[in-house]
């Protein structure tokens, strides 16, 4: 796939600038966005409070309203094309244990039946893939993951549940994800992880970041309870390896 790397700069109110790439979900676009983001983080000219990554966008929230978009654009363009080597951030592959037991995977049967798959095939298709964290949004610690296999695409529920439990692993349309907190939600629940995706008591409340990778590892109900116990006693480390 040949990607158009032309990017556009738009004002978003008078205190934010929206930078947009071609409207496709693609890892190469994400890499370009992240490289630009790291360059912005390392410069001093543009003073910002937040950098928000989207599938094909980067939004810069500025500390102060800007007067002339053209001036900001010029500075940003020179940052984008600068050849300075950015200190590459380490990206990790996080191994997330998931219990696909039917006790947790309350929609697993329906997904399997309608997709003409066995439950084991759904579990295998879901857990053999490595997913890319595009960005975090919707809820604190909710990862937007790319890479769900087409055979698992499954429409959201027509009527969302009022409460989906924290840790639920679910499929919604062409996406898969983990609910970081109890929340209303319309995705189809296929399992549950004991891993907390957002914890305000940690120095870094959300372990994953844009560009990291996620791999789900099937575990038994027994292992689920063991890990949950360890997490409660604060003696569990999520397994991670450095991504290439």
Partner 1 sequence: MIKVLKAGFYASIQDRGRVGFAAMGVPVSGAMDMFSAEVSNSLLNNDLDDAVLEITFGGTELQFLSDTFIAVSGANFNPVLNQKEIRQNKRIKVCEGDVLSFRKSSLGARSYMAVKGGFQTTKVLKSRSQFKNITQTFRVKKDELLAIKLHPKDLKPTNASLKISPNHFVSSFIECFKGPEFYLLSEKQKKILLNTVFSISSDNNRMGYRLKETIKNNFFSILTSAVLPGTVQLTPSGKLIVLMRDCQVTGGYPRILQLSESAISVLAQKTTNSELKFKLNFI
Binding status of residue 23 toward partner 1 by CB under 8 A: yes
Q: What tokens were used for 82?
A: 């600068």
- Choice from 31, 42, 49, 88 touching partner 1 (CB under 8 A): 49
Nearer to partner 1, 14 or 229 (CB): 14
**Which of helix, strand or coil describes residue 14?**
coil
Q: Give the span between the Cα atoms of 99 and 107, in whole angstroms.
A: 13
Does residue 56 touch partner 1 according to CB under 8 A? yes
Per-residue contact flags (x/-) with partner 1 for residues 111 to 150, judged by CB under 8 A: ------------------------xxxxxxxx-x------
The first and second tokens of residue 39, run together, are 């360059």
Residue from 11, 43, 124, 174 binding partner 1 (CB under 8 A)? 11
Distance between CA atoms of residues 118 and 109, nearest Å = 8
Phi and psi, residue 158, nearest 5° = -60, -35
Tokens 């929206």 identify what position?
18
> For the window 170-199, what string marks contact with partner 1 as x by the rule CB under 8 A?
----------xx----------------x-
Task: Identify which range of 104-112, 113-121, 155-163, 205-213 contacts partner 1 by CB under 8 A.
Answer: 205-213
Residue with tokens 């298709």: 125
């Amino acid at each position: 796939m040949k990607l158009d790397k032309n990017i556009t700069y738009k004002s978003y109110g008078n205190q934010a600038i929206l930078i947009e790439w071609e409207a496709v979900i693609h890892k190469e676009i994400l890499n370009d966005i992240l490289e630009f983001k790291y360059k912005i983080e390392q410069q001093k000219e543009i003073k910002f409070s937040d950098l928000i990554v989207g599938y094909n966008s980067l939004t810069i929230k500025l500390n102060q309203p800007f007067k002339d978009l053209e001036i900001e654009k010029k500075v940003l363009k020179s940052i984008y094309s600068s050849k300075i080597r950015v200190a590459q951030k380490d990206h990790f592959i996080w191994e997330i244990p998931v219990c696909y037991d039917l006790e947790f995977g309350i929609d697993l049967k329906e997904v399997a039946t309608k997709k003409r798959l066995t439950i084991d095939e759904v579990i295998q298709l879901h857990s053999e893939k490595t997913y890319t964290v595009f960005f975090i949004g919707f809820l604190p610690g909710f990862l937007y993951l790319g890479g769900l296999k087409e055979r698992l695409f499954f429409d959201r529920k027509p009527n969302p549940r009022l409460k989906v439990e924290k840790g639920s692993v679910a499929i919604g349309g062409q996406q898969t994800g983990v609910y970081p907190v109890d929340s209303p939600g319309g995705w189809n629940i296929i399992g549950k992880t004991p891993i907390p995706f957002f914890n305000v008591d940690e120095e870094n409340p959300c372990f994953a970041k844009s560009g990291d990778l996620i791999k789900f590892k099937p575990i038994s109900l027994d292992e689920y309870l063991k890990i949950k116990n360890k997490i409660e006693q604060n003696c569990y480390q999520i397994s991670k390896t450095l991504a290439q």
